[in-house]
Amino acid sequence: MPSIGFSEEETPLGEHDAEDLLRGICFKTGPPRTVGVELEWLVHDLDDPHRAVPAHRLREAYGGLRNLRLNSALTFEPGGQLELSSAPARSLMECVTTTAADLDAVRPVLRTAGLALAGIGRDPWKGMPDRMLREPRYDAMETYLDRIGVAGRTMMRSTASIQVCLDAGHEEPGPLGYGRRWQLAHLLGAVLVAAFANSPMREGAQTGWRSTRQALWAELDPARTTAPAARYEPRVAWAAHALDAPVMCVRAPEGPWAVPEGLTFREWIRSGVPRPPVRADLDYHLTTLFPPVRPRGHLELRMIDAQPGEDGWMVPLAVTTALFDDPEASETVYRTVKALAETAGDAPAPGNPLWTNAARYGLADPELHSAALACFAAAREALPRIGASPAVREAVAAFTDRYVVPGRCPADDLRTPVTGKTGTTGQTGTTGKDLRT
């Protein structure tokens, strides 16, 4: 986290300086060479996933995890979710192998404590858990989001996702150019939401959404959760978007952080109140923006629900990497999803009809189903070209046959059929048990 506070040695940030910084750091171009993944997991009681896990049990178990030597960064979310963030890997298989090894180290420690990881986008059984992390950052975030509604607390405490991180791409135009990849991410992103939707329940009841987690994001502050306007060049659009987004909080070296109302970062620069912002404030401000695709030098795709099973996370990682980093697949998929722009309309993701359909209907939406069939076919052809192992290719093929071909998604293993009656098919979670019953 950036240093907190302001001293006379730090230079107040000017508006033009901020714009130049944002344009320089948001898209770092070059040939796509690295890939990363951030895995969030809900943590449940090993024997009874419906039962709330007391905070003291989580803290004790997490204390043991801190002694592990991991390649990934290990962190915890406010509701007790566990997150592993891989280091940038030189290939898909390096990312898969190192992240899987870290999970193999984490799971036995949790199992000894009577706990298990569960790959679901939103906790389907329990109500709002207590907030475990009592830090100024999360106090301020909760205060800010509470002004909008309850979706913020739910997002912070009860959701889990898979975030795929890919290089921004070439400076030049073409299938791997950063402008094309930026546009592709916001159209293909809806297909990824639909195909991997896995959060249809809340407190044991159906919500009417295949991805309740994505629906929650749409309820949050649009100024920080929507994409920039698509009609502008990506660097220009993101710089303006970031500066015109509201300031969530003003950090302080001691005591609670201020939570201003209606103050954009641009206005903060111009006013200098409550103190002039510095570079570290801009860096921190960027971490409080949550669009579906966040440019952080690389592209961070944030729209995928956590997936069931011990290795279910590998499928969206492999499919997304193949579709972005293999030139032939990228070109094929771009032509496929470009037609989705008409449904999306002028509104930015995720608040447009395309993304709403993806979250509500998953692959039951005919347009998204047709696009997913083409995208997964292209990914399966590309995976050998980018060095995917037979096991990863088989996992993608199995997911395609189980979900994509019949127009289903993992949420359909948890949600009720169209009749509204209780379904009989459950997901197999990390314990090998049916987590739905």
DSSP assignment of 108-124: HHHHHTTEEEE--SB-S
For residue 133, what pLDDT band results from cuts at 50, 70 and 90? confident
Q: Of 85-94, 106-115, 228-237, 388-397, which gets the smallest average pLDDT? A: 228-237
- pLDDT over 70 percentage in the chain: 93
The two structure tokens encoding residue 285: 């401000």
pLDDT score of 8 more than 50: no
Please list, in sequence order, all residues whose beta carbon lies within 8 angstroms of the beta carbon of residue 69, skipping any fewer than 6 positions away: 105
| Cross-strand partners of 39 | 84, 162
Could you identify the residue written with the tokens 């969530």? 248
pLDDT score of 425 more than 50: no
pLDDT score of 430 more than 70: no
Could you identify the residue written with the tokens 């299938």? 175
Q: Exposure of 130 by Cβ count < 10 A (0-12 exposed, 13-18 middle, 19+ buried)?
A: exposed
Q: What is the mean pLDDT of residues 139-164?
A: 94
Reading phi first (left if > 0) and then psi (alpha if -120 to 50, else beta), residue 100 is in: alpha
Contact 341, 394 (CB under 8 A): no
Separation in Å, CA 354 to CA 53, 185, 191, 255, 269: 37, 13, 9, 43, 36
For residue 424, what pLDDT band results from cuts at 50, 70 and 90? very low
Helices 327-338 and 314-325, axial angle in degrees (round to 10): 90
Average pLDDT in the chain: 92
For residue 128, what pLDDT band results from cuts at 50, 70 and 90? confident
Contact 384, 174 (CB under 8 A): no
Contact 227, 293 (CB under 8 A): yes
Q: What is the mean pLDDT of residues 203-229?
A: 94
Contact 54, 115 (CB under 8 A): no
pLDDT score of 89 more than 90: yes
Q: Of 53-57, 206-210, 278-282, which gets the smallest average pLDDT? A: 53-57
pLDDT score of 317 more than 80: yes
pLDDT score of 417 more than 70: no
What pLDDT is recorded for position 4?
A: 47
What pLDDT is recorded for position 132?
A: 87
pLDDT score of 437 more than 50: no
Q: What is the mean pLDDT of residues 256-282?
A: 96
Which 8-state DSSP code applies to residue 54?
P
Side-chain half-sphere CA neighbours of 159 within 13 A: 24
350 upstream amide cis, omega within 30 of 0? yes
| Between 124 and 132, residue with greater pLDDT | 124
For residue 1, what pLDDT band results from cuts at 50, 70 and 90? very low
pLDDT score of 428 more than 60: no
- The string of pLDDT tens digits covering residues 370-383 is 999 999 999 999 99
- The string of pLDDT tens digits covering residues 31-70 is 999 999 999 999 999 999 888 899 999 999 999 999 999 9
For residue 231, what pLDDT band results from cuts at 50, 70 and 90? confident
For residue 129, what pLDDT band results from cuts at 50, 70 and 90? confident
Q: Of 311-315, 348-352, 415-419, which gets the smallest average pLDDT? A: 415-419
Which 8-state DSSP code applies to residue 78?
T
What pLDDT is recorded for position 9?
A: 53
Q: Would you list the DSSP string of 214-274? A: HHHHHHS-HHHHSPPPTTS-HHHHHHHHHHTSBP--B--SSSPPB--SS-BHHHHHHH--S
| Cross-strand partners of 336 | none
Q: What is the mean pLDDT of residues 249-257?
A: 93
What pLDDT is recorded for position 418?
A: 35
> How far is it, in rounded angstroms, from Cα 24 to Cα 345?
29
Q: What is the mean pLDDT of residues 335-348?
A: 96
